[in-house]
């Protein structure tokens, strides 16, 4: 498998330099940098990285807004890496379509693993924010959305793929367990997200988890 390519978006040059050293030491190719959201969008369009590693609080255009445009335009997948875990930021990033959310306290192996996961079409959430992220999305979702997983519009195979997403399986694990090809898995995942109205695997998981009675 070829090394994933990454664009670093952070307003602190020292942090970008440290991330570059860390990622490249683990075989991840850093193809560009950005110090604010507008530059992140422009560089994502020019460089088409596999993953944009996105800070959220930057001068000028913020990371949430930049994430939304990058995802909507299909320029790259976005993995948020920030020092802040306020509910508003977690929720905003996931609603904007971020495929993952990590805090800057994360260690190098976990960060590298998350970059690879997002580049492969999977998601990644810091354990410190996972429960709150799920609760926030569930609170925001209308009752109809919470029942979406039970609607007949999902085919049998799509239901199996959704079950795998809820179990945290990667695309490769889904392919192996369901006995189908990786491209077929990716197609099914895309169809499931579209039918659920979800913008990422994490969002899909949140929408289909119901609060306990």
- Strongest mean pLDDT among 81-85, 109-113, 153-157: 109-113
At residue 8, the pLDDT reads 97
116-143 burial code (b ≥16 CB/10 A, e <16): bbbbbbbbbbbeebbeebbebbbeebee
Mean pLDDT for the stretch of residues 78-101: 83
How many angstroms separate the CA atoms of 80 and 66, rounded? 11
In percent, the amount of the chain with pLDDT more than 70 equals: 83
pLDDT tops 60 at residue 213:
no
Residue showing tokens 């949430």: 64
- Is the pLDDT confidence value at 10 over 90? yes
Q: How confident is the model at residue 7 (pLDDT cuts 50, 70, 90)?
A: very high
- Phi then psi for residue 105, to 5 deg, are -80, -5
H/E stretch holding 98: none
36 and 42 in contact (C-beta within 8 Å)? no
Of the chain, the percentage scoring pLDDT greater than 90 comes to 36
Averaged pLDDT for residues 20-30? 95
Residues 41 and 9: beta-carbon distance below 8 Å: no
pLDDT value at 178 more than 50: yes
Q: State pTM to two decimals.
A: 0.68
Q: What is the rounded distance in angstroms from the CA atom of residue 54 to the CA atom of residue 101?
A: 9
């Amino acid at each position: 498998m070829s090394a994933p390519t990454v664009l670093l978006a952070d307003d602190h040059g020292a942090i970008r330099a440290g991330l570059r050293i860390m990622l490249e030491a683990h075989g991840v190719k850093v193809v560009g940098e950005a110090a604010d959201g507008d530059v992140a969008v422009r560089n994502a369009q020019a460089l088409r990285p596999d993953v944009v590693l996105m800070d959220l609080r930057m001068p000028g255009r913020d990371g949430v807004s930049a994430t939304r445009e990058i995802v909507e335009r299909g320029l790259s997948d976005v993995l948020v890496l920030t020092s802040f875990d306020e509910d508003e930021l977690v929720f905003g990033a996931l609603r904007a379509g971020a495929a993952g959310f990590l805090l800057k306290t994360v260690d190098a192996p976990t960060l590298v693993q998350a970059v690879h996961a997002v580049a492969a079409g999977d998601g990644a959430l810091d354990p410190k924010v996972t429960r709150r992220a799920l609760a926030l999305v569930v609170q925001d979702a209308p009752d109809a959305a919470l029942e979406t997983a039970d609607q007949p519009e999902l085919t049998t195979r799509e239901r199996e793929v959704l079950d795998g997403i809820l179990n945290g399986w990667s695309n490769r694990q889904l392919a192996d367990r369901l006995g189908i090809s990786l491209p077929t898995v990716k197609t099914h995942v895309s169809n499931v997200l579209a039918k659920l109205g979800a913008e990422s695997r994490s969002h899909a998981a949140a929408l289909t988890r119901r609060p306990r009675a």
